Chain A
Amino acid sequence: MIMQTFLNTWKNLKNIFRSWVSMSMLIIGPLLIIAILAFSFSSSGFRNVKLGYVNEAEFEMDSLVDSLSYMGKFYPYTNLDVCKDKLMRQALHGCLHIRSLGGDRVGIEAHFDNGREIISLILLENLKSAVIEKENVIVESATEGMLSQVSSVALLMDEGEALLYEMINSLEVQRRQLVDARARIHDAETKYDNALYDAHRNYDSLIVNSGEYGEDAVDEIESARTRVTNTITMMHNLRSTALYLNDSYTADQISSNINYLEDIEDDLWTLQYNVQSDMGVYKSRLGDVDDILDDADDAQVYFDDALRELNTMIITLDSRLVSLRSTKDKIYEQKNKMKEVAGMGTDALLHPFEFEYKPLFSGSKRINKEITPAVAEISEEKKRDLINYGSTQILFPLIIAILVCFIAVILSNIIVLDEMHSPAYFRGFLIPAFRQVFTASLFLTSFVIMFLQIGVLLLVAHYSFYLDVFENIWTILPVVVLIGVVFSLYGMIIAYAVKNKASSLLVCTFLLVITFILSGTIFPIERMSAFMSALAGSLPFSVSVSMLQQSLFYGIPLSQMGNQFGLLLVHVVFTAIVLAIVRFISELRKGRLV
């Protein structure tokens, strides 16, 4: 029995390995998937991530942007709504709303599209840690700032102290100088007073004496005396003459006259002497007055000097006042800063940022309408269910796309294979009809079935999950149909290329697996390597998921997703061409020319 089991296993293995498709799918398939995985996820960076910010806090963004530059590019916006609109259209990955919360505290509202859940969560995580890092830097620098404030206050106090010491010293010196000056002024004052008194007295006596003699009194007296002496001489001659003449009387007469004249001469001598000495006293008095006047001049100089010294003292005092005032201002400023810091509170000091996550999508309009109290006569339980739906709604674009792709690939593959393996397939070659007619009708067949299933899916999404399907039906339907068409064509291509049913299904499964790997649902496209990111981003699955997210969550119309829609159309055309080629080769291979 064991032998039989092994024998069968051996036979089965042979069977499998002799079909090149199964073999390549079994061996190359997993390797291919691993290679794609390795190639896609070899890089750790981000691709094409764009973040907008609205800075209402005059917040210095540079360092935050710098520390997040590995994640993507930052674009400033002036209006949050504009930024959020871009976010809805998936032109941005997030919007940061930066507001001032008073003081140095800054509020960061991170608006992210929770519809694109995985990449949003990753970006949010990175953003958060960058903010915390930045916060730490700010706290550190704030602490450093405080410490430097404290030390600058200490420095200021040192400065003030030195200044006050200097002031005291200079004030003491100035006081001494002032006392000195006062003494000297006092001195000068007394001197001046005395001199003035003397001057007055001398002046008075001068006034008194000056009335007795004229300026030439001495000369007059002398000439008078000379005339008297001459007369005496003349008289002596006269008496000699008289004697000679023996006129004794006359001689006697003359002698008595001579005696008289000689008395007068003596008197005149005395008078001349007196007048002369009186004149000397007067002159010395005049000199005294001159001296006094000189003294007065000296005193004036003293006064001037003293005044000048006082002026310098005032200037010095003024400059001291200026530096004192500036020191006072500095101390005031520092005091205020310290008061601010003291008033900040520990929390604001340790958490300068208030970080808040704002998911962009908060449930469909229909759910929100149901929940609003105006309409609401709904029970709490129902309300809870509805809110719960709101969070599951995020998955719907993905679910719809996955189901459509699954259905489309497998269905079209099976339909084509069924036809090819049908006994009637052969007769098809005899019928006068183009082969394309059969291919087209096979496509239409799978399309009709797919369309019905899409319809059911959308109805369920609308009625059971409260998504805004009907409101956006003219966006959702074309997108869903196009992605369905593309994947139907994939399924048909696989069927024509791999005719064995099991192998064909295996290839379909691999295709779906690869699609999901590159869809960004398992691993965000933004984190893939550059080439794979570009490739994955333009694959029909990710494009249609993106379009469904935009329209289902935010009601963005098809007309505003022209590029993506165009890309889907390109995929349809391209895949159709590939199908035509593969179908042609496949039917040629049998040795038949159709």
Chain B
Amino acid sequence: MKKEAILEFKGISKKFGKQTVLSNVSFSIYENEIFGLLGRSGAGKTTLLHILLGLVEEDKGVILYKGRKIRPNSFAMKKKIGFAAQDTSFYPKLSVEENLWYYGRMYDVKRKVLKERITRLLELFSLQRARKVSASKLSGGMKRRLDLAICLIHDPDIIILDEPTTGLDIILSDQIWDMIKRIKEVGKTVIISSHILHQMQQHCTTFGILDQGMFYDHKGLYSFAKKHKIKSLERLFVKFLQ
């Protein structure tokens, strides 16, 4: 059974000045996957995600959502995507609950629905006890969980996480991956960019690598791994990029 692609990138190219960041990138992401976007620092992972989010305009190419061409910048698309950047993004002076309420209302979630959802999200991310605490006073792990909660506040189909565990210690990383799994369990599609390969190997269902503007999907990677008898993704990565 061939699953329907929820997102399809077709021939996306992007240059910053003379520097080619993405060149003719094409791949698909299927529903309820955890898609791992790999690549060295500066490979263009964030740029690609920002194009999907409508924060950066592509030079060429189209993006299809469920087979239909979309404008990433449209409000409809924004409502379907939840995003958490490497740095958390919320108002430090507002409490956990206030932040969730603010973003929920900004996404036009009905008050009643929002109230329930906040309770559920607080529970999901174990933030119930911190609900009244000002966001700036949260620990690093809690901040990240709050960011994830905010990212889910409008109940998006697709969750995009840009390097969610970079700079976190093992315990925090594990917590985050735990959360990501739970998100997948609810039926969401998750796209994660990272260069922490062992975590990606452990948790992701599909991969793709960005390198020097080119995208290589997991099929290509598997055949490459077989050919070179490489088992660890890390080894594959290093070998591949050589």
Contacts and interface: CB of A to CB of B under 8 A. Distances in A.
A487 B107 CA distance: 32
Interface stretch (A43-51, A430-438, A515-523, A567-575): A430-438
B57 A593 contact: yes
B56 A592 contact: yes
Nearest to B89: A427
B55 A592 contact: yes
A459 B201 CA distance: 68
B107 A427 contact: no
A27 B90 CA distance: 38
Contacts of B108: 432
B96 to A, nearest CB: 13
B141 interface: no
Contacts, number: 48
B92 interface: yes
Interface string A413-436: 000000000111111011111000
B88 interface: yes
A433 B85 CA distance: 19
B137 to A, nearest CB: 14
Contacts of B76: 432
A278 B81 CA distance: 186
A424 B94 CA distance: 11
Given A591-B56, A592-B55, A593-B57, A431 B106 contact: yes
B89 A432 contact: no
B98 to A, nearest CB: 12
Nearest to A591: B56
B116 to A, nearest CB: 21
Contacts of A430: 53, 55, 78, 81, 83
B77 to A, nearest CB: 8
B52 to A, nearest CB: 11
B224 interface: no
A424 B88 CA distance: 8
B106 A426 contact: no
B107 A426 contact: no
B73 interface: yes
Main secondary structure, interface of A, reads loop
Interface residues of B, number: 26
B106 A423 contact: no
Nearest to A593: B57
Contacts of A433: 75, 106
Given A433-B106, A593-B73, A424 B90 contact: yes
A431 to B, nearest CB: 5
B92 A422 contact: yes
Query: Chain A contact residues (Cβ within 8 angstroms of B): what range?
Result: 10 to 19
B79 interface: yes
Interface in B181-200: none
B150 interface: yes
A427 B76 CA distance: 16
A426 B85 CA distance: 9
Given A424-B90, A426-B85, A591-B56, A432 B150 contact: no
A429 B85 CA distance: 12
A425 B89 contact: yes
Interface in A384-438: 422-427, 429-433
A426 B90 CA distance: 9
A594 B75 CA distance: 11
Given A423-B90, A424-B91, A431 B150 contact: no
B12 to A, nearest CB: 15
Contacts of B53: 429-430
Given A430-B53, A431-B106, A423 B88 contact: yes
B103 interface: yes
A591 B15 CA distance: 11
Contacts of B88: 423
Interface string B64-97: 0000000001011011010101011111100000
A242 B90 CA distance: 218
A430 B92 CA distance: 18
Contact of B55 (A424, A425, A429, A432): A429
- Point out which of A424, A426, A430, A594 has the most chain B C-beta atoms below 10 A from its C-beta: A430
Interface string B99-143: 000010011100000000000000000000000000000000000
A505 B53 CA distance: 33
B16 A423 contact: no
Contacts of A429: 53, 55
Contacts of A594: 73
Nearest to A431: B106
A588 to B, nearest CB: 10
A507 to B, nearest CB: 26
B191 to A, nearest CB: 14
A431 B78 contact: yes
Given A423-B87, A423-B88, 16 more contacts: A423-B90, A424-B90, A426-B85, A427-B103, A429-B55, A430-B53, A430-B55, A430-B78, A431-B78, A432-B79, A433-B75, A433-B106, A591-B56, A592-B50, A593-B56, A594-B73
10 contacts: A422-B92, A423-B88, A427-B103, A429-B55, A430-B53, A430-B55, A431-B107, A432-B79, A593-B54, A593-B56
The 6 A-B pairs of least Cβ separation, nearest first, read A432-B75, A427-B89, A432-B78, A426-B89, A424-B91, A431-B106
